């Protein structure tokens, strides 16, 4: 058998793994090396599924994808089906999802207000419920919330992703930064989302995926310019400097690997959700280490 035929047989026997991630600059930065073939995928064929985080959360409820990015709020509902890869998390440090309004006098009084939210399974929504349980929510695609609030269709909007940096352009005002609130309440980094792997995969495959993702993030850190250039089309109009700032906010040392403090933060979030009766059971997170 020729080398070409051998390679063809090898390729046909590669296990296809669907990996869901959101169309955002920070996720694109992390997945640059995988997408461009810069890291060894250890005999696995990675098929990218790019959808907004709430869609991925909903798919995770049905365990559709082998690996996917999810909100930690959603993880509390899928921990029987998925474990957390030890790389790929988004943590905030004294910052996080922001509630904005056209009104400068809304202050922190959100009770009874109509708030546009990016999805009820997002960690941002959970944090807002923990902060103020009594409001009226309306689900609006995350990249349309700023316009929705600016047009007066809601009293306030809950912003994730790049909206946290760009809302001022639209004459909106910050009501509360839920990352600042979380920091004052817990003193821990704010766990927003992570990558999870289906538990029905062989453990070796799960650990391979953990290794691949960690290698991809390491490559991006070492080749930041190229990774940022790849991420730019996913930034919805941000200039390169702002993309760099946004990626730096959410791709950090905890993205490469959870330490004890990061794991404690995930446990704390899930514990608070359980005590507030937003989760039916307390979930102890399970992490998968790389090979």
pLDDT tens column, 171-200: 899 999 999 999 999 999 999 999 999 999
Instruction: Read off the tokens for 286.
Output: 């399970």
Identify the pLDDT of residue 161. 82
The answer to whether residues 232 and 243 touch, using CB atoms and an 8 Å cutoff, is yes
Q: Using alpha carbons, select from 63, 66, 27, 46 the residue that is nearest to residue 220.
A: 27
For position 244, what pLDDT does the model report?
A: 93
Q: Which CATH code, of 3.30.200.20, 3.40.190.10, 3.40.50.300, 1.10.760.10, is assigned to 3-91+191-288?
A: 3.40.190.10
- Residue 172 CA to residue 40 CA, distance in Å, equals 45
The CATH number given to 98-186 is 3.40.190.10
The DSSP call for residue 192 is E
**Given this model, what pLDDT does residue 2 score?**
44
Q: φ and ψ at 105, to 5 degrees?
A: -105, 15
Q: What are the residue ranges spanned by the domains of the chain? A: 3-91+191-288, 98-186
Which residue numbers are catalytic? 161
Contact in structure between 134 and 114 (CB atoms under 8 Å):
no
In whole angstroms, what is the distance from residue 65 CA to residue 168 CA?
37
Per-residue pLDDT at 131: 96
d(CA 52, CA 139): 13
pLDDT of residue 286: 97
Check residue 19 and give its pLDDT: 97
The pair of structure tokens assigned to 216 is 């991809």
Write out residues in the chain with pLDDT < 70, as ranges: 1-13, 104-108, 163
Q: How far apart are CA 76 and CA 104, in angstroms?
A: 35
Residue 215: strand pairing partners: none
pLDDT of residue 237: 76
Angle among Cα 107, 113, 117 to the nearest 5 degrees reads 100
- Helix-then-strand count for the chain, H and E: 13, 12
CB atoms within 10 A of CB 31: 26
Residue 105 tokens read as 């006098």
- Give yes or no on whether 3-91+191-288 and 98-186 have one common fold: yes
pLDDT, residue 12, reads: 46
Contact 279, 270 (CB under 8 A): yes
């Amino acid at each position: 058998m020729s080398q070409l035929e051998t390679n063809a047989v090898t390729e046909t026997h590669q296990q296809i793994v669907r990996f869901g991630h959101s169309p955002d600059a920070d996720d694109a930065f992390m997945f640059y090396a995988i997408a461009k073939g810069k890291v060894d995928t250890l005999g696995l064929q990675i098929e990218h599924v790019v959808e907004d985080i709430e869609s991925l959360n909903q798919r995770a409820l049905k365990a559709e994808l082998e690996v996917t990015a999810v909100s930690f709020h959603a993880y509390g509902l899928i921990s029987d089906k998925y474990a957390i890869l030890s790389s790929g998390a988004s943590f905030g440090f004294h910052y996080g999802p922001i509630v904005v309004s056209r009104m400068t006098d809304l202050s922190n009084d959100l009770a009874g207000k109509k708030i546009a939210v990016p999805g009820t399974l997002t960690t941002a929504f959970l944090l807002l419920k923990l902060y103020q349980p009594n409001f009226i929510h309306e689900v609006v695609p995350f990249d349309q919330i700023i316009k929705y609030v600016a047009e007066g269709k809601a009293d306030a909007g809950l912003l994730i992703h790049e909206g946290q940096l760009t809302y001022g352009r639209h004459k909106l005002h910050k009501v509360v930064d839920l990352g600042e609130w979380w920091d004052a309440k817990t003193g821990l980094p704010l766990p927003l989302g992570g990558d999870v792997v289906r538990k029905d995969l062989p453990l070796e495959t799960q650990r391979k995926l953990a290794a691949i993702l960690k290698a991809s993030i390491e490559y991006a850190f070492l080749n930041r310019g190229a990774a940022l250039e790849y991420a730019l089309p996913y930034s919805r109009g941000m200039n390169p400097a702002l993309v760099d700032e946004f990626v730096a906010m959410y791709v950090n040392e905890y993205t490469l690997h959870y330490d004890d403090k990061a794991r404690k933060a995930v446990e704390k979030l899930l514990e608070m959700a359980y005590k507030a009766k937003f989760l039916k059971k307390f979930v102890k997170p399970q992490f998968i280490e790389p090979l």
